Amino acid sequence: MQSTPTSFYANLVVVSEALKRQYDLDTDAMLAETGVDLKAAARGDQRIPFELVDRFWAMAVEATGNPSIGLDVVEDMNPVVYRSLGVALMCSSTLRDFFNRFERFFAVISTLETTHFEETDLHAVFTDHSHVDYSKATVGCHSDAFAAFVIKFIRLVYEPAYAPLKIELAWTPPEEYHQRYRDWFGCPIEFGFDDSRIYIDRNDLDTELLGSNPDIAMQNDQLAMSVLEKMRKLDLPEQVYARLIDFLPAGDCSREKVARSLAMSESAFQKKLKAAGTSYQELLDETRTELAKLHLSDPDMSVDEVAYMLGFSDCSNFTRAFKRWLGVSPREFRNTTS
């Protein structure tokens, strides 16, 4: 998308301080070289653009020579650095409450990824799905840090020795590191998945947590919600993206409808998008492109179904547009990526 996904500054605070303590690295210099002014960021609810986050992690992997530093940095994680959300999570009533809250407010921590909590008859699953293309050197860091971050949090609020049923990670570390992962998580680990997943025993979901305090949790939920609202108001392209995802399957995603849904006139809508460095048509094409690639990766969806999901009246119009976006037809794209 035109608007770069971002990470809450506290994520880099945790990483920076951990690397400084554990590896004696001059992380202040690394941050300066990366382009991040952490002192300026720490003065408010600042966000760090994806490109700078990825650059810093890549420098950290190179400096340490350790591809599994995602596990290291979580050792220094303190919930209070995440302010209202950290407090709300610590005051969750049960693990079910904890995971639902985590999913609901995860954008406060990062918009580089989204999380999803789902229960089945056998277990519950907490999934992390990336919306950015991490560099080869850093993809493992983010997968590891996500899983370790969640488990560290659960060990703080539930049981110090807690281990999930299973972990799936969105990368494959070198063979010599595999035992370290089994030791750290205390459960079976599988590698090489598209998303990272934590499998939880359903019997654990309703046990009351140590710091359970619904009143404090609710108060801090409201603060976290205000942070999300502030983020949304500051990021018009992301708001348009969200509206388009909702409107495209119905085939009615006109500029007028999107502007009206955001309580703006068409003229004001166009001016604000121009000020943000984009346009409605650019956002529409980018949204359709990303969704098309996502849907075409699903072998159970026909090209016709993908076309209608993106708001096209027929497949031929979709094919012409797709060729304009990516230079190949939808079927050629599917054949080269399957």
Cα separation, 318 vs 234, whole angstroms: 32
pLDDT: is 5 or 203 the higher one?
203
Q: Please give the average per-residue pLDDT across 46-69, as a whole number.
A: 90
pLDDT higher than 80, residue 260: yes
pLDDT tens per residue across span 299-328: 888 999 999 889 998 899 999 999 999 999
The pLDDT, as a whole number, for residue 1 is 38
**Could you tell me how many residues make up the chain?**
338
Cα separation, 276 vs 192, whole angstroms: 37
Supply 302's token pair: 């026909």
For tokens 């089945």, name the residue.
120
Q: Please give the average per-residue pLDDT across 94-104, as a whole number.
A: 96
- Strand 196-200 to 189-190 pairing: unpaired
What's the per-residue H, E or C state across 100-152?
HHHHHHHHHHECCEEEEEEECCCCEEEEEEECCCCCCCCHHHHHHHHHHHHHH
Cα separation, 63 vs 275, whole angstroms: 39
Q: Please give the average per-residue pLDDT across 29-37, as a whole number.
A: 84
Cα separation, 329 vs 218, whole angstroms: 49
CATH architecture of 235-337: Orthogonal Bundle (1.10)
The pLDDT, as a whole number, for residue 78 is 85
Phi and psi (nearest 5°) for 200? Answer: -120, 140
pLDDT tens per residue across span 176-188: 999 999 999 999 9
What's the whole-model pTM score? 0.70
Structural domain boundaries in the chain: 70-226, 235-337
